Amino acid sequence: GNSVTQMEGPVTLSEEAFLTINCTYTATGYPSLFWYVQYPGEGLQLLLKATKADDKGSNKGFEATYRKETTSFHLEKGSVQVSDSAVYFCALSMYSSASKIIFGSGTRLSIRP
Amino acid sequence: NAGVTQTPKFRVLKTGQSMTLLCAQDMNHEYMYWYRQDPGMGLRLIHYSVGEGTTAKGEVPDGYNVSRLKKQNFLLGLESAAPSQTSVYFCASRPLKDRVLLDTQYFGPGTRLTVL
């Protein structure tokens, strides 16, 4: 079946450090890939997405590239801020599916001032 | 627009009690979903609806029922709550545009439920 695996947290970094959160997926077919972010006490918000191989999604300084050959969608940011502290979820969706967005288990990110 | 709202925000139940969680969206979205979020497990789909009057089971439907009597509302019911249902519950909606189901879901702020 379809699944998403992301690196376990928590991840703690200093402000202005480089961030990578790894995500790999298993899917039969060609999924759309997402990163959602959950700030403390809030619901999930879409951070970025990519719908086909080699697409790069970007938003708020975060980037992720859809790599079909390695079935990966790693999240990166060049210089993190304290306000980036949140839980990040990698997810996939199959075009033909009415229901399923499949989420990874989430990675908690904490940024020290 | 308020987006997706959930009522209540917090609730504590005793084992065996029943309750209903309400999700409302004002974006005219066709599809609505209920998830539960547990530590280390991400979000798991409980039930979903592809339109008014229709519902379907997701990944973890046991112990829950749902209804979609109005397009804007999606209710999640627990008939006899159990401690295993202690979780954070999220509702989401998803739009159809020009008859195409878009792949982005919009989430509510969540309901934290504790069953003692």
Instruction: Quick: pLDDT tens for B18-71.
Output: 999 999 999 999 999 999 999 877 889 999 999 999 999 998 999 999 999 999
Residues 6 or more apart whose Cβ sits within 8 Å of residue B97: none
CB of B114 within 8 A of CB of B11?
Answer: yes
Q: Chain A neighbours among B 15-54 (CB < 8 Å)?
A: 31, 33, 40-43, 45, 48, 50
- Residues 72-111, chain A, touching B (beta carbon < 8 A): 89, 93, 95, 98-101, 103-106
Residue of B nearest to A44 (CA): B107
Q: Measured between beta carbons, which residues in chain A are less than 8 angstroms from residue B95?
A: none
Tell me which residues of chain A, numbers 8 to 37, contact chain B at a CB-CB cutoff of 8 Å.
32, 34, 36
**How far is residue A17 from each of residues A77, A93, A110, A113, B55, measured CA to CA in Å?**
9, 31, 12, 11, 46
**CA separation (Å) from A19 to A49, A52, A65, A68, A75?**
18, 23, 14, 22, 8
pLDDT digits (tens, 9 = 90+) for B90-108: 999 998 876 676 778 899 9
Can you tell me which residue has the tokens 């997402």?
A34
